[in-house]
Structure 1
Amino acid sequence: MSLAGLFPIDKWNFKSASILNNLPGDEYAYLCSNMLEQRYSKGEVIFREGGAASGIFFVKKGKVKKYKVDKAGKEQIIYVANAGELIGYHAILADERYPDSAATLEESLIAFIPKEDFLGALEKSTVLPRRLLKTLSHEFTVLTNSISVFAQRSVKERLAITLIVLREKFKAETLPGEEIMINISRSDLANMVGTGNENIVRFLTEFKAAGVLTTLGKKICINDIRELIKLSGCGNE
């Protein structure tokens, strides 16, 4: 079921999947000339906050969480990247160290593009700079909205919003006719919502009792997206 007209998904979900799509052949070839692919196990760290930015990463398969860690060691997940998206490019553009960490949520295939190749392609391309500028502008809008609105929402509403966004993420890799299964640990879900595991378990149980969703192990299936949108308090914003 499409969220069009029901929920403003673009206010909550940004993606960089379009950055490399249909680049001129020579530009794409230059960008990928020294690309190295690597398979990552679930939970494996790709880069850490504060690490020297030596290149960007292209998610070819799987899902990656971007997160920050507070002084107590607790994660705050900022974003989940899908296959086709780029991560790590903010640090290269700013000529700074990685501002956050990234780790796989599931077994993934990640391609590494060296910093020199990315910057070289950026200089040669007439398309890539415009796409990056558009993507960065949209990401800023989404993050600003997330910070301001999440601060005013209850844990239940934040969980509902997060489940809606995750449903769209997992929908991208679900075959037509199949149920969309959100496959994420309760701790990662708690770190996205910004609460404790006990609250996540309590509200998931409440949503399940109301028929909004069903669970199979750690997998979550949304049965009533319209009701979930009502619970989020964001319908038709």
Structure 2
Amino acid sequence: MSLDIHLLLAMGASYHKVQKGEIIFHEGGYCYYYHQLVSGSVRWVNIDEYGQEHVQSIIEPGECFGELPLFDDRPYAASAIAGEDCLILRLRKDVFRKLMKEDHELHLEMNRILVERIRFKFLMQYSITRHTPEDRIRILLEYFLKEKRHVCPHSFQLKLTRQQIADLAGLRVETVIRAIRKMHEDGLLLIENRKIFIPDLPPHHGYLN
């Protein structure tokens, strides 16, 4: 879910290094750039009055993030925090908007990216209605398999920690640990050396079908 790097560089985009734990932009702040992750990982979060993070998405290399204010000129809806040392490609907001006006195909591609974000939010809302933690986690993993996100294409190893799964599914990490163990016992996934593999997750009768 991103734009072509060579095109962005030709339009004047520049690389920006960010250290682990650094805040890239704040919720409520003004947007100056289009951001695209080249390497590392980024948490897209809301932070409540107690300092607790509520994860909206975990960004992988090749994905853009924080794009909503590029279109509506409103403040950022969430903060972006580097989960590890990152390399980010940034394009000035005014140049990005000029590019969208001049290139119909690129505008359609950004629309597709925004629609995919909305679909993921619908999926998360749907998962909350499920009765068991296993159902909620299974819906999430099924989505990642389908969209080829957070899963190694060769080994099918899940590239998320149990804490990250808990954050995305809205569950306690202890609940996720128990649920994943049960899913392993039921043959829905494989655990080897604490790593999670999901090569043949059977289709679930629900939202994604």
TM-score, length basis structure 2: 0.80
Paired position in structure 2 for 1:169: 149
| CA distance in structure 2 between the partners assigned to 1:74 and 1:215 by the alignment | 31
Partner-residue secondary structure (3-state), 1:207 = helix
Paired position in structure 1 for 2:88: 110
| CA distance in structure 2 between the partners assigned to 1:138 and 1:100 by the alignment | 17
Considering only aligned residues, what root-mean-square deviation do their CA atoms show, in Å?
Answer: 2.8
Aligned length: 205
Gaps of at least 5 residues in structure 1 are 1-15
Paired position in structure 2 for 1:222: 198
| Aligned counterpart for 1:190 among listed residues 149, 160, 166 | 166
Paired position in structure 2 for 1:10: none
Deviation at 1:101, TM superposition (A): 1.7
| CA distance in structure 1 between the partners assigned to 2:120 and 2:164 by the alignment | 20
Deviation at 1:47, TM superposition (A): 1.9
The one-letter code of the counterpart of 1:234 is G
Paired position in structure 2 for 1:37: 15
Higher relative contact order (CA 8 A, sep 6+): 1
Render the CA deviation track for 1:80-108: whole Å, top value 9, x for unaligned.
33322221221121101111122344443
Distance change >3 Å, CA 165–CA 223, structure 1 → 2 = same
Paired position in structure 1 for 2:176: 200
| Aligned counterpart for 1:139 among listed residues 114, 117, 127 | 117
Does the 8 A contact of 2:16 with 2:87 survive in 1?
yes
The answer to whether residue 130 in structure 2 is matched with residue 153 in structure 1 is yes
The one-letter code of the counterpart of 2:33 is G
Distance change >3 Å, CA 71–CA 166, structure 1 → 2 = farther
Does the 8 A contact of 1:48 with 1:102 survive in 2?
yes
TM-score, length basis structure 1: 0.72
Paired position in structure 2 for 1:6: none
Deviation at 1:199, TM superposition (A): 0.5
Paired position in structure 1 for 2:190: 213
| CA distance in structure 1 between the partners assigned to 2:32 and 2:11 by the alignment | 16
Partner-residue secondary structure (3-state), 1:181 = coil
Deviation at 1:57, TM superposition (A): 0.5
Deviation at 1:53, TM superposition (A): 1.0
Paired position in structure 2 for 1:50: 28
